[in-house]
Structure 1
Amino acid sequence: MKEIRIEENGRLGPINAAMIPRYAGGGTYARLPRLDQVEKADIKIVGVPFDTGVSYRPGARFGANHVRESSRLIRPYNPATDTSPFAQSQVADAGDMAVNPFNINEAIETIEHEALELTSDGSTLVTVGGDHTIALPLLRAASQRAGAPVAMLHFDAHLDTWDTYFGAEYTHGTPFRRAVEEGILDTEAICHVGTRGPLYGKKDLEDDKRFGFGIVTSSDVYYQGVREIVDKLRDRIGNRPLYISVDIDVLDPAHAPGTGTPEAGGITSRELLEILRGLRGLNIVGADIVEVAPAYDHAELTGVAASHVTYDLISLISDFRASKGMNS
């Protein structure tokens, strides 16, 4: 079948939904072109089908393609940000990284290497996982490209700064402890958002504070409101290069049941999207959306939420790149 695509500002966009039904055609994110269909991409979407680092329910290895399928209703114009991200920037789907499902250390090395390769031309990476283990090698690559430790906003029900699970240092619950230890995070500009639920002990919070993390709980979002939270986050980040990591379990299970470690009392999809939109103008040097596990995702709620989070992150990155003349 011949692809009929929207083209604007010389950039190849999604398949035209007015000409080809949304349920037909290729299965890329938002039905965007594949990386091999464009000369150069400013923003690349890549999947990492890996969930060997999970400690409870598996299945996030299928998350990237689930988000792609859930993104078929994404449209080219984003009224929330008054931007047309696919016209501002050339956005393309780079497919999936092929990582070893039996060897976590090798998988981490592969992800870091592939992320560096994909961004060697100055493009920005938006990664769909996969479990949260993948954030560590992605942060390594982002820090190397930035030439300095990066700021980070971590949206999650959990801290993910534990030391080990069953003696393993690299799991989906440990990436940000390792990142602090490796010196790839700017510890004056890192914060969790949306945390909640039981912990192993008060020491978890004490360790987290010692690493430099601020914490915005889901209750804080509820009581203080989105605008106040956004102001606090922007003050903390400043003008630093910023990496955003979104574990979809930051959302309440009512909005995102399809995840491996759900916790009651989470934020809504509306709150998450509005917080992200409040970060407009910040220098986002990379982002990931992880822990989407389609086997538990009735009515595709989680996939739809994750696809829109991905879209708003792309919109923010595209807008910043356009404002700085960074696009091809």
Structure 2
Amino acid sequence: MTEAPGGVNQPLAPEESDRTLHFAGPATFGRIPRLDQVDSAEVAVVGVPFDSGVSYRPGARFGGNAVREASRMLRPYNPAQGIYPYHYSQVADAGDISANPFNINEAIETIEAAAGELLDGGARLMTLGGDHTIALPLLRAVARKHGPVALLHFDAHLDTWDSYFGEQYTHGTPFRRAVEEGILDTSALSHVGTRGPIYGEKDLKDNEAMGFGIVTSADVMRRGVDEVVQQLVERIGNRPLYVSIDIDVLDPAHAPGTGTPEAGGLTSRELLEILRGLAGCQLVSADLVEVAPAYDHADITSVAASHAAYELITIMSKLSAPLRWRKLNG
């Protein structure tokens, strides 16, 4: 941070994009500084290049850097939320967590420990996956700091299955494990954007028993974003909130670059508007997973993902901003 007039510490922000080349320079998220370039960060963007838990198409281990590349075009002012997010709080790119791709149990332990260190340093996390397996260790680390958290889960799939081929830790099981471990507030759990065939009616009954409410992609289409946001915000209340986004919540027309695409999903506009509607919630951390650039074309998926992450970073920046800095910026 640098010192602004009046003795207020001013976050180190990206260089103004109208004076730099979008396609040049280090590929941090939105060209924010690296964590080692600042004293500390209120919001840390961190990658987890791990996809050993996938059940269909692999490649999400390359998602974090694809999202970073796509974020080069993000500009410093967020008109939808009305602030300069990188001027409110110190946002920094913490690089990647290196997790063992050959041992899921060890990888989960590594991710949990590394995320815990960043959280203990005072940062809220915007994590770029990687497959959805990583949500479990991230939730463990967040719950250790905040207690059981509300969960808003954007996904085509429920991700509450018990196991695949006898394995309990995969990208389709993290939220069942999280409920079993008591790290989620079961009075405030919601899936958003689910659709398509499932294994059986028992899947839905299990979700209801775990406490999940479900807003399908068809519900968003029929009821509209504003009504859906109102329902979600009322369910979340003032609880600490964790948001987990599987990019396959978007229709394949908007996100072809993912491992398990399903027809009939949200548009990128609907997702962004729902996220903006969470601005009054107590967002403590978030993840965005399952971007698989090998199946992308024209970077459609990673561009959508970068904008979704930007909206979440903006919300966390406002929540993390020191009071004196908020006053300085009106």
Counterpart residue number, 2:291: 292
Residue-by-residue CA offset, 1:154-179 (whole Å, 9 max, x unaligned): 00000000000000000000000000
SS in 1 for 2:18: coil
Q: Deviation of residue 14 (structure 1)?
A: 1.2
Amino acid at match of 1:180: V
Counterpart residue number, 2:250: 251
* Residue ranges of structure 2 left out of the alignment (5+ in a row): 1-7
Instruction: Note if contact 1:252-1:266 (Cα within 8 Å) is conserved in structure 2.
Output: yes
SS in 2 for 1:57: coil
* Residue ranges of structure 1 left out of the alignment (5+ in a row): 1-7
Instruction: Note if contact 2:156-2:265 (Cα within 8 Å) is conserved in structure 1.
Output: yes
Counterpart residue number, 1:313: 312
Residue-by-residue CA offset, 1:84-103 (whole Å, 9 max, x unaligned): 10000110000000110000
Counterpart residue number, 1:42: 42
Amino acid at match of 1:195: T
Q: Deviation of residue 324 (structure 1)?
A: 6.2
Tell me the matched-pair count: 319
SS in 2 for 1:223: helix
Inter-CA distance 167–261: structure 2 relative to 1 (3 Å threshold): same
Query: Matches of 2:235 and 2:322 in 1, distance apart?
Result: 22
Structure 1 vs Structure 2 CA RMSD: 1.4
Inter-CA distance 64–306: structure 2 relative to 1 (3 Å threshold): same
Query: Matches of 1:218 and 1:20 in 2, distance apart?
Result: 39
Query: Matches of 1:162 and 1:178 in 2, distance apart?
Result: 9
Query: Matches of 1:155 and 1:325 in 2, distance apart?
Result: 34
Amino acid at match of 1:64: G
Q: Deviation of residue 319 (structure 1)?
A: 1.3
Query: Matches of 2:282 and 2:209 in 1, distance apart?
Result: 26
Counterpart residue number, 1:206: 205
Query: Matches of 2:302 and 2:164 in 1, distance apart?
Result: 28
Counterpart residue number, 1:74: 74
Counterpart residue number, 2:5: none
Amino acid at match of 2:168: E
Q: Deviation of residue 19 (structure 1)?
A: 2.7
Counterpart residue number, 2:4: none
Q: Deviation of residue 320 (structure 1)?
A: 1.9
Moved over 3 A (4+): 323-327
Inter-CA distance 260–277: structure 2 relative to 1 (3 Å threshold): same
Amino acid at match of 1:138: L
2:11 paired with 1:15: no
Amino acid at match of 2:61: R
Counterpart residue number, 2:148: 149
TM-score (norm 1): 0.95
Q: Deviation of residue 9 (structure 1)?
A: 6.3
Query: Matches of 2:218 and 2:201 in 1, distance apart?
Result: 18
Query: Matches of 1:141 and 1:121 in 2, distance apart?
Result: 12
Inter-CA distance 301–186: structure 2 relative to 1 (3 Å threshold): same
Amino acid at match of 2:98: A
Query: Matches of 2:160 and 2:209 in 1, distance apart?
Result: 11
Inter-CA distance 324–227: structure 2 relative to 1 (3 Å threshold): farther
Inter-CA distance 88–213: structure 2 relative to 1 (3 Å threshold): same
Instruction: Note if contact 1:60-1:129 (Cα within 8 Å) is conserved in structure 2.
Output: yes
User: Where does 1:260-279 land on structure 2 (aligned, <5 Å)?
Assistant: 260-279=259-278
SS in 1 for 2:14: strand
Amino acid at match of 1:31: R
Query: Matches of 2:18 and 2:137 in 1, distance apart?
Result: 40
Counterpart residue number, 2:32: 32
